[in-house]
Structure 1
């Protein structure tokens, strides 16, 4: 009998007033998997984060976390997950150790056992020399590590993170993913949201969100391979005219995306001379490359990835 999923989401919908932020989303995450929800601001991924972590109550659909329903077993869910928010959740006026000690007490830990766990987790994340340092003196990457130590203190089986790499430099991001790799080896399931394409490429599997819907779900490699061939981007003064000319003269399928003409073709380099020879007077520039996750997003939605910048609403009350 196959192992039950760590996370099961079934036909989930969520509204903020007249705005439907999540529209019938369904997917599963396997135990020990690193899963990313990728989408621009306003795509619904942060709302899903709030629902999975029991920050807001379900309206429609069902979510099970490690076999527990977030609708009816919220306390059991919270006992098995560690949560890292996009906004800092640690007290800058306390030391690293004090932050972890206060957090541990919320989970029923105390005494010498709590201090031992806190010191061990801080050491594991490479912050031993900062044990008694005030959080306000730490760098952004160090603060994120304190938040991870805090979230993992009670040994949760699932770690849920909202935009964990926001504000981190490339070195701190690499440190973050090395830690994720270690947690995965221990069987911890990691679910994160991100608007960073390079972040999503590191996940075992990812779901792409667009306007509240899940428009793609697979491994990063499989999603990129699903487009086939190469991606050509043509810049021109009249994108609609060029797109029509490509269809009529070259019998190729092309589309206009935010003012540029795009084609997906096998052996794209062989197509460039044909384009220049037949339509060179209409083309200002040609860019050729292998499909990226942004190309996948464009293919599934018809929009560039960063074209949508509307923030998701925040509920007035839980």
Structure 2
């Protein structure tokens, strides 16, 4: 069995939103360069397959799929943030397929865990709308594939600095997929308030904790300890998926958080421990944002070290007054649904 499977392809480097766009090909090349310079024992790199039409259709409408297919081979502006180049559509289909393949390999026991190192990212893509640098919602497509393959409960954790509105929308009324997000708030895309907890059968199965700018590794640690981990352990997932964006890094130009690569490694350690205790270590990360090339590459490398079993990281102690208040708001919103949070 492969310990940590890394799925990536040169096609991802050919998605080019244009000069000075933050979601640039160098994001991925910087990650791969560091992994080449400092290889990690137990991490094996392979090329992925594209997603099938059925896999895309499990999340996205026919209207959106037809529209995006029509952009193949073209430069196009979907919105001011989301632009295509001639290879973008094929890269997006391959990114979705890599995410599904990562899940397939882990569920089949051929890999202990996996990381889909892909572009374009996905968590802002809604069922009927591409936006926020994203065309297809990679993690949602992967979660649906996991459900078809027999995973009864899928946990999606989103640590990107921007709230994953598309993932939340896909599972808003579902309890077979538990969506958790920690993000800067208020901030783009203006979703992810603590009272957004899902509805109908999915009430209580969306957990949002929005933090003000300046949150540290210790602040994130408090949220994990007192909110996310108790609920995750109570949920007992069959698979843990992570929307792994690294734009909460202290050097990132698009946000105001103060996380370090060790903070990301601590988050990865905590989720790896959940996966080990609940579902035989079944953990899959999908690359989302992160726009400081050094911060991104160092943080991804630190997470792969954790996944491969080379390191374990823990959070520093302490929590700011602002983060504690945000944590309390989220706990109060979710207490009616989760007894582990108290009544």
- TM-score category by the smaller chain? 0.3 to 0.5
Name the structure where strand makes up a greater proportion of residues. Answer: 1
Q: TM-score w.r.t. structure 1 length?
A: 0.35
Q: TM-score w.r.t. structure 2 length?
A: 0.33
Bigger relative contact order, structure 1 or 2, given CA contacts below 8 A and separation 6+? Answer: 1
